[in-house]
Chains A and B, each alone.
Chain A
Amino acid sequence: MSDHPLLTLNQVSKSFGPVNVIRKVSVNVHAGAVQVLLGENGAGKSTLIKMMAGVYQPDGGEILIDGKAVSLPNTRAAEEHGIATIHQELNLVNSMSVAENVMLGRTPKKFGMVDRKALRRQARAALDLIGLDVDVETPVGELGIARQQLVEIAKALSINARILILDEPTAALTRHETESLFKVVADLRRKGVGMLFISHHLDEIAEIGDSVTVLRDGEFVAEVPASTSEDELVRLMVGRSIDDQFPRRSAESEGPAEILAVEHLTSKGKFEDISFTLRAGEVLGISGLVGAGRTELIRAIAGADRYDSGSVKVRGKALPKGSVQAAIRAGLGHVPEDRKGQGLVLDASVNENLGYATLASSARLGLADFSGQRSRAEAVANTLRIRMHSIDQPVGSLSGGNQQKAVFGRWIIAASTVLLLDEPTRGVDVGAKVEIYELMNAITEAGGAIVMVSSELPEVLGMSDRILVLRDGRLAGEFSSADATQDKVMTLAARDVNEEH
């Protein structure tokens, strides 16, 4: 074995038009080690790894593999060097089956035809690695975001790469799936695979990382051991310290005015007989494993999907089934789990995306209110600190976390009083998370209320006043924030699953 790192980015730079996104950054990936990239939303992490994956080419600096300078003009070239990448945004073909997606580009053939048996077998093996238990014939589009993420991971793992790049693979996962992923990572590390890992979950860094490269504003800040304290990491990353990661201020004082009532809500095959109420000023967390029906429940309440029976009442008035518009009129706002597929029009500007929910209500005589919209959008982009070079740039060119803030911002502009949040901070950095939490506080203090589905248990525990646990589409139990602990919630959420296995 040589003493060269497997992969080196040496003083690379990258700009998009007039915007310098990466300036003279160096990173090494060593065999049998996990290099962590850390930085705020928009710091340039994804841009950096896209240069390793052959998606972008650096404007300056060089890429070395085994100490030799190489050029990676396209993704194929990167793959030929043994680099596999799990990108932050999913790249799956929704209409194709799980198996076909996992084996995409490497479909096993027999006599020039697809060898379906081998296809299924190889895909199954890849999925078993990370413990994804779905039928490999299912079209990927029918899976939720977390399972799609697992398919994406399986796809990258099955390539047998020497270098594996993971851009926020855990953002959509619950602790349960994250643990299976980390087992695989530990295994690969023993086999000498070099890995580069990005995550906004700081606790994961010490758990699987070896060394951390910190970026700020596209520049190299420091390289520190992964055992560095979280506080120190935060300080390096945002340039200041954050005192309270979950600054929940309870706002339930003025009487228990009931704002949302869900009664016996049932959607066959998704969830059954769900009842709960939400009081003004309350944050209700919904916890559960992937596939427990959390997203389906939120979507039904928001009017995104129809349901079979039961009712949803807002301030005593029943909402019609499956009408997003009626839900919005009643004051509901829905942040869906999949920002790329369901939240944003990627080609449209940040400004337009922030304004869709209020496009009609702010219009006069059918004419869009451009100047009003622009000032509202600018104000919200400011509050949420959406990092962009212009409010007119396509929202698809923002970094992942900033895109997430844009979805959130739409409902701030709409002044929604009941927010239905599905993974509201997926991919959002620690600093910006606190800003989103503060917005949640502001909404509840103004008499609004929030239902929050999140796979991040610390977030659910830290921000909710009350926690519902879903298991297999049914309510498994309820905790007050005082009683809840990670262990209690996980045990309840996973009970059946553990018994089955």
Chain B
Amino acid sequence: MSAATLQAKRRSFDVKKFLANNGALVGLVVLCIALFIATPDFLTGRNLLNIGIQVSTVAVLAFGMTFVIVAGGIDLSVGSVAALSAMVSGWFFVSAGLPGWLALLGGLAAGLLAGVINGLASAYGKLPSFIATLAMLSIARGLTLVISDGRPIKTSPEVSFLGGNLGPVPMPIVILLIAALVASFLLNRTVVGRSMYAVGGNAEAARLSGLPVKRIIVIVFGLAGLFAALAGLLLAGRLDSAQPQAATGYELDAIAAVVIGGASLAGGLGRISGTFVGALVLVVIRNGLNLLNVTSFWQQVVIGVVIALAVGIDVLRRKTRSS
């Protein structure tokens, strides 16, 4: 075939392909328009900021989850690790008397450490990541309760600042945007990020090409832990306290956001921008249902249906692509 006809064909816009690749974004836009029509409360500055704050926690957790899912794993512990990190930070500040900024870093380090342990268990201990992180889910939550004795701990001013405002803009939204840029940079530009796709796509081929597969897995889980810690600190900062039951069940939101965003649980596929949109879809649905006075029980049902739809679309997309 001549190059000219090829180019001409490529220039014509392929609607089907655009929809298949950006289904979540289209869904989000449709959702927003529907809510705008359904309730006047949706498109208000206050509500939008509210959505921004809520999405920050889910999205930051989900960015970390994106690394893991792209590399072909799963991390069930991110919610617990978020809570543990915030609690460790609070404990450093209140009980150990460390300076506030050090307590903040201590919290991040705790998340990183938990993540690295997940990574070691799954890369070197040869545990499936599902099992390794299921154990960590329980361990981290348990430690959170042990440290706090089941009671909230006050956070340092530095951590509270993360939950505060920067002028008119809530800090969580600023942090969210920075985290998105960093995550996207890591995944797209760095050697480690590109390697994640290879490991998730075909770990054996990656290994035989000389990629340090085990080290990459440890880094992937370490990053997930670090992002979880950041999400935990954002959450605690908003409440000025680390709560022992904070972020319970958030791992499912994070996984849902990644999958809605177009990643494949089989590994090797996924983008930060997609995850961002996925997190927005989740939060906007919840927000809308709240505004429409739908009970939280029904909200769970709706979210479940959305996840099922997203996965269904993913399966369809893979089918059309492979044929």
A341 vs B195: C-alpha distance when bound (angstroms): 17
Query: Beyond the given A344-B202, A356-B210, A394-B321, could you list 9 further A-B residue pairs with CB under 8 A, ordered by the A residue number?
Result: A17-B17, A56-B323, A341-B202, A348-B197, A348-B201, A359-B211, A360-B191, A367-B190, A368-B189
List B contacts of A357 (CB < 8 A). Answer: 209-210
Q: Are A363 and B191 in contact, CB atoms less than 8 angstroms apart?
A: yes
B191 touches A348 (CB 8 A): no
Q: Which chain B residue lies CB-closest to A50?
A: B323
Instruction: For A339, give the chain B residue with the smallest CB separation.
Output: B205
CB pair A352–B194 under 8 Å, yes or no, is yes
B191 touching A366, Cβ below 8 Å: yes
A74 to B202, CA, bound (A): 28
Interface segment out of the listed B6-14, B86-94, B249-257, B285-293: B6-14
What is the chain B residue whose CB lies nearest that of A349? B197
User: Is B208 a contact partner of A359 (Cβ separation < 8 A)?
Assistant: no
- The contact of B210 among A217, A324, A347, by CB within 8 Å, is A324
Determine how close the nearest CB of chain A comes to the CB of B13; give it in whole angstroms: 12
A-B contacts, 8 listed (Cβ < 8 Å): A17-B17, A324-B209, A328-B210, A334-B208, A341-B204, A348-B198, A359-B195, A363-B190
A447 sits at the interface (CB 8 A): no
Contact B209 A356 (CB under 8 A): yes
Q: Is A209 close to B, CB under 8 A? A: no
Q: Provide the A8-28 mask, 1 if CB < 8 A to any CB of B, else 0.
A: 000000000111100000000
Q: Tell me if A389 is interfacial: C-beta within 8 Å of chain B.
A: yes
> Which of chain B's residues has its CB closest to A355's CB?
B194
Q: Are B210 and A345 in contact (CB under 8 A)?
A: no
CB-CB under 8 A from B210, the residues of chain A are 324-325, 327-328, 356-357, 360
B269 to chain A: which residues have CB within 8 Å? 347
Write the residues of chain A forming the contact surface with B, with a CB cutoff of 8 angstroms. Answer: 17-20, 55-56, 217, 302, 304, 324-325, 327-328, 334, 336, 341-348, 352, 356-357, 359-360, 363, 366-368, 370, 389, 394, 396, 410
A367 touches B191 (CB 8 A): yes
A352 touches B209 (CB 8 A): no
Q: Is the CB of B201 within 8 A of A345?
A: yes
State whether A18 touches B9 (Cβ < 8 A). Answer: yes
How far in angstroms is the closest Cβ of chain B from A58? 13
CB distance from B216 to the nearest CB of A (A): 11
Chain B residues engaging chain A, CB cutoff 8 angstroms: 1, 6, 9-10, 14, 17, 189-195, 197-198, 201-202, 204-212, 268-269, 321-323
Contact check, A366 vs B212: say whether CB atoms are below 8 A apart. no
Min CB distance, B269 to chain A, in Å?
6
For B205, list chain A residues within 8 Å (CB).
341-345, 356
Once bound together, how far apart are the Cα atoms of A217 and B206, in whole Å?
32
CB of A495, distance to nearest CB on chain B (Å) = 33
Give B16's nearest chain A residue, CB to CB: A17
**Nearest 4 A/B pairs, CB to CB:** A18-B9, A345-B201, A356-B209, A328-B210
Residues of B within 8 A of A396 (CB): 322
Cross-chain contact A368 with B201 (CB below 8 angstroms): no
| Docked pose: A328 CA to B207 CA in angstroms | 11
Partner of B191, one of A217, A347, A368, A394: A368
Give the one of A18, A19, A346 with max B CB within 10 A. A18
A129 CA / B26 CA spacing, docked (Å): 55
Residues of B within 8 A of A336 (CB): 208
CB <8 Å contact, A345 and B206? yes
Chain A residues within 8 Å of B321, by CB:
394
Q: How many contacts A-B (CB < 8 Å)?
A: 87
Nearest residue, chain A, Cβ from B322: A396
- B201 near A324 with CB under 8 A, answer no
Whether B190 lies near A410 (C-beta < 8 A) is no
A368–B268 Cα distance when bound, in Å, is: 17
In contact, A19 and B208 (Cβ under 8 angstroms): no
Q: How far is the CB of A145 from chain B (nearest CB, A)?
A: 13
A56-B323, A347-B268, A367-B189 given; A342·B208 CB < 8 A = yes
Looking across the interface, which residue of chain B has its beta carbon closest to that of A23?
A: B1
| Chain A residues whose C-beta falls within 8 Å of the C-beta of B189 in the assembled complex | 367-368, 370
A20 nearest CB neighbor, chain B only: B1
Which residue on A lies nearest to B190, using beta carbons? A366
Residue among A304, A343, A347, A366 with max Cβ neighbours from chain B (10 Å): A347
Closest to B268 in A: A347
Residues of B within 8 A of A394 (CB): 321
Residues in A neighbouring B191, C-beta threshold 8 A: 359-360, 363, 366-368
Whether B198 pairs with A345 at a CB distance below 8 angstroms is yes
Given contacts A304-B208, A324-B208, contact A19 B6 (CB under 8 A): yes
* Nearest B-chain residue to A328, judged by Cβ: B210
Q: How far is the CB of A265 from chain B (nearest CB, A)?
A: 19
In the complex the two chains form, what is the Cα distance from A410 to B198 in whole Å? 14
Complex CA gap A356/B205 in Å reads 9
B289 to chain A, nearest CB (A): 35
Q: Which residue of A lies closest to B201 (CB)?
A: A345
* Nearest CB of chain A from residue B267's CB, rounded to whole Å: 9
- Cβ-defined contact, A410 with B209, below 8 A: yes
Closest residue on chain B to residue A299 by CB atoms: B208
Which residues of chain B come closer than 8 Å to A367, judged between CB atoms? 189-191
Least CB distance, A104 to chain B, in whole angstroms: 19
B212 and A325 form a contact (CB under 8 A)? yes
Among A17, A55, A356, which residue has its beta carbon within 8 angstroms of that of B211? A356
The reply to whether A346 and B209 form a contact with Cβ atoms under 8 Å apart is no
* A284: min CB distance to chain B, Å: 21
Cα A302 to Cα B204 in complex, Å, equals 14
How far apart are A309's CB and chain B's nearest CB, in angstroms? Answer: 23
Which chain B positions have C-beta within 8 A of A20? 1
Q: Once the chains are docked, how many angstroms separate the CA of A125 from the CA of B1?
A: 47
Instruction: For the complex, give the distance between the alpha carbons of A394 and B321 in Å.
Output: 10
Nearest CB in chain A: distance from B51 CB, A:
33
Contact B204 A356 (CB under 8 A): no
| Cross-chain contact B197 with A352 (CB below 8 angstroms) | yes
- Smallest CB–CB gap between A298 and chain B, Å? 11
Instruction: Find the B residue at minimum CB distance from A363.
Output: B191
